[in-house]
Amino acid sequence: MKPFVYSRATEAAAAVRQVSNERSAKFIAGGTNLLDLMKSGVELPDRLVDIARLPLAEITALPQGGVRIGAMARNSTAANHPLVRERYPVLTQAFLAGATGQIRNMASVGGNLMQRTRCPYFYDPAMRCNKREPGSGCSAVEGFNRIHAVLGASEQCIAVHPSDMCVALAALDAVVRVQGPEGEREIPFDDFHRLPGDTPQQDTNLRHGELITAVDLPALPFAKRSHYLKVRDRASYEFALVSVAAVLDVSGGRVRDARVALGGVAHKPWRAREAEKILTGARANEETYRKAAEAALSGARAYKHNTFKIELAKRAIVRALSTAGGSGA
């Protein structure tokens, strides 16, 4: 591992100054992703600023009925918090679907937002990877691409985003609160992560030195009727081949409002807005759910080894919607 300077921040403003003043500096919280990348030589920071002890772990109700989750809240804590469990079951389910109990006890909500792809070509410095080394090429395009993207990819990168939590946050229209050298700002969740395009090395729209301080969940009463479905090769400690966060407002057998997001299929958590259009106002039944699934994957493009993901994603959407919709009453 490359030598680096380590410092521990005692306040958010000081942490922001330290990182913003040094281009190769990074924040470290739980370290469950960053340390792995440093060990393999993918991440090479000259300085780590430890933010683990900053007072950013509180989970509180917002005045309008939403919930604020501090960036340093541990995944296990957020998953089991009464406000999250009662108001946003899809988020609790997503948290509990990720990693192991030990990792959830260390991983932070802010760190989860920042985790990088688990593409094996990205993790191996011997392989060509535009995300790791812009302009070097993408070995995954012609390589073994079973786990890779079928939506939103580019010829520069076909990696997928690994987070479960982020898929649920995408469906819930969360807002990411950040503090940077120029002050505080809010980033709508759909604008936080980026598709690869010609700049796959840029995972998010954060500016250098900006620190995530919290995630705000809007008041969404019908989010109590929600479900997170994760399809993976084994039942535990595995990243999603496909995942679905489904949130439905159903009354009188019809869908009044719907939120659908997909994981394991794109470079960022994928909001299936075409599916939502099909669902809204339609009967809450399997026929409608199948039409929504077809719309969600209408623009999919498979590679040599991941054609199965398209049909898998469609079936997962139908199952998640059926579970979230209940009896349709």
The whole-number pLDDT of residue 221 equals 96
The whole-number pLDDT of residue 328 equals 58
Q: With respect to residue 106, please indicate whether it lies within any of the assigned structural domains.
A: no
Rounded Cα–Cα distance for residues 256 and 254 (Å): 6
Could you tell me the pLDDT band of residue 327, with boundaries at 50, 70 and 90? Answer: low
Question: pTM for this one?
Answer: 0.97
Q: With respect to residue 64, please indicate whether it lies within any of the assigned structural domains.
A: no
Q: Residue 304's domain is classified under what CATH number?
A: 3.30.390.50
Number of domains in the chain: 1
Q: With respect to residue 5, please indicate whether it lies within any of the assigned structural domains.
A: no
- Segment (H or E) for 113: helix 109-114
Mind listing the pLDDT tens digit for each residue in 39-64?
999 999 999 999 999 999 999 999 99
Could you tell me the pLDDT band of residue 109, with boundaries at 50, 70 and 90? Answer: very high
Question: Are 112 and 228 within 8 A, CB to CB?
Answer: no
Could you tell me the pLDDT band of residue 146, with boundaries at 50, 70 and 90? Answer: very high
Beta strands at 47-50 and 25-28: parallel, antiparallel or unpaired: parallel
- Residues β-bridged to residue 255: 250
Mind listing the pLDDT tens digit for each residue in 155-181?
999 999 999 999 999 999 999 999 999
Q: State percent of the chain over pLDDT 90.
A: 97
Average pLDDT over residues 21-27: 97
Q: With respect to residue 121, please indicate whether it lies within any of the assigned structural domains.
A: no
Q: With respect to residue 282, please indicate whether it lies within any of the assigned structural domains.
A: yes
Rounded Cα–Cα distance for residues 152 and 267 (Å): 7
Q: With respect to residue 135, please indicate whether it lies within any of the assigned structural domains.
A: no
Could you tell me the pLDDT band of residue 237, with boundaries at 50, 70 and 90? Answer: confident
Average pLDDT over residues 23-41: 96
Q: With respect to residue 147, please indicate whether it lies within any of the assigned structural domains.
A: no
The whole-number pLDDT of residue 99 equals 92
Is the per-residue pLDDT at 129 higher than 80?
Answer: yes
The candidate with the shortest Cα–Cα distance to 240, out of 248, 250, 231, 227, is 231
Q: With respect to residue 297, please indicate whether it lies within any of the assigned structural domains.
A: yes
Cα-flanking dihedrals φ and ψ of residue 8, to 5°?
A: -110, 125
**Residue range of the domain that includes 271:** 223-325
What mean pLDDT is reported for the chain?
97
